[in-house]
Amino acid sequence: MKITRITVDVVSEPKEHPVRDAIQLLDRNGRTRVIVETDEGVSGVSDSHFGRVVSSPAVLAKIVTDQLAPVIIGEDPTLIRGIRKTLRELTDYQGTAGLSSYGISAIDLALWDLLGKSLGVPVWRLLGAQRTTIPAYAMVGWLELDVAGLEAVSAKAMEQGFRGVKMKVGGGPLTEDVSRIRAVRAVIGADAPLMVDANQAFGFSEALRRGRVYEELDCRWFEEPLPAGDTDGHVRLAEKLDIPIATGENRYGQEAFRDLLAGGGVGVVQPDLRRAGGLTDCLEIGLMAAGFGVPYASHGGGAHIHVLAALPNTIYVESGLLPADGRVELVDGCYPLPLEPGLSSWH
């Protein structure tokens, strides 16, 4: 089998209901779809989503079509790690982190989809899965919601069968975080996991001050307390707090996780498919984390559920509320894995 053509389709439109975290307004529904075709008629597809920046989907499309695709036309699409090596070497000169990484990830995901489809099996079966359902929590506590809105959406998540809820913090003073956390806790009950996510908003001393309070409020983890690249800060913070530090969604490539894991700076590792390097790198990062005894919770869901099915250290898939049409239902708080060939997913 040979790769014969790679095409890209772009969508960039305003989001109907923009959401806010501590550092940004996510107001776009951008999407870059990559389709890898072969001489045997099988093709693979991947979607990369963008929550803001109007032009990003089209810029990624240009990188894929003009720079990455030409060097892998004619290659055997099952040599997924070989193709990754070729693309990393190509982009090294300009810096592989950033949109080059998004492009390599998009191709990686499309190749896994293609491999699953060519063999007629879902990718999680190819990876030697450990489980057939994935525990899910609902990331629903955005900062544009007032306390009544937070309470309503948290109640909705629990009604849908989620066992835990995540909420954004750091949008205002600590007293505001405390009242919002208490409101959500009152809705979900004393024993349900409640995670807080600061989206890199704090410096070290503020992260320490707030972390001690989130700890007192029995939060399950403290996500992105510091700028993502501050490995030393994460290590020092983890030494001073008992609450696990969760991070990883803004790190590029598996080497960005090595020192963080080795130093003990992360208690829950959270790679993102687009930034970390696709399914292949997320799987390898997850296994590296497993070696350090660190649990893995994906940033986002979608195709990530195939990685989560395979890793020994999986604890959660991140989800929004389930779609209103009822096509997805949780079973005992878990997503069932899709049975269609390739990288299909529920959301």
Q: Which residues bind Mg ion (CB under 5 A)?
A: 197
- Give me the helices (H) in the chain, please: 56-62, 69-72, 80-91, 99-119, 123-126, 147-159, 174-188, 204-216, 231-240, 255-262, 273-276, 278-291, 304-310
- Asked if 127 contacts 309 with a C-beta cutoff of 8 angstroms, the reply is yes
Torsion sign, CA atoms 151, 198, 31, 128:
negative
Which residues, 6 or more positions from 15, have their beta carbon under 8 angstroms from its beta carbon? 26, 27, 28, 29, 51
Residue 81: CB minimum distance to Mg ion, A: 28
Among 184, 196, 140, 84, CA closest to 319: 140
Nearer residue to Mg ion within complex by CB, 42 or 139: 139
Q: For 173, which DSSP code?
A: -
Cβ(80)–Cβ(112) below 8 Å: yes
Nearer to Mg ion, 286 or 341 (CB): 286
CB of 48 to Mg ion, least distance (A): 17
Our CB check for Mg ion shows the closer of 37 and 197 to be: 197
Taking the complex as a whole, the smallest distance from the CB of residue 249 to Mg ion amounts, in Å, to 5
Nearer to Mg ion, 268 or 279 (CB): 268
The residue (of 102 and 222) whose beta carbon lies closer to Mg ion is: 222
| CA–CA distance, 215 with 118 (Å, rounded to integer) | 48
Give me the numbers of helices (H) and strands (E) for the chain, helices first please.
13, 12
Q: How far is the CB of 159 from Mg ion (least distance, A)?
A: 23
Nearer to Mg ion, 177 or 197 (CB): 197
Nearer to Mg ion, 108 or 197 (CB): 197
Q: How far, in Å, CA of 263 to CA of 113, rounded? A: 35
Pick 116 or 271: Cβ nearer Mg ion: 271
Work out how close the CB of 330 gets to Mg ion at its nearest, in angstroms, rounded to a whole number: 21
Minimum CB separation of residue 141 from Mg ion in Å reads: 11
Q: Which is nearer to Mg ion, 47 or 197 (CB)?
A: 197
Using the Cα atoms of residue 242, residue 246, residue 247 and residue 253 in order, give the sign of their dihedral.
positive
For the CB of residue 269, give the shortest distance to Mg ion in the complex, in Å. 12
Is the distance from CB of 303 to CB of 46 less than 8 angstroms? Answer: yes
Would you give the end-to-end CA distance of the chain in angstroms? Answer: 30
Calpha distance 144→147 (Å, rounded): 10
In the bound state, the residue with its beta carbon closest to Mg ion is 197
| Contact predicate 184/151, CB 8 Å | yes
Minimum gap (Å) between residue 272 Cβ and Mg ion: 9
CB of 222 to Mg ion, least distance (A): 11
Q: Which residue has the tokens 């320490």?
A: 208
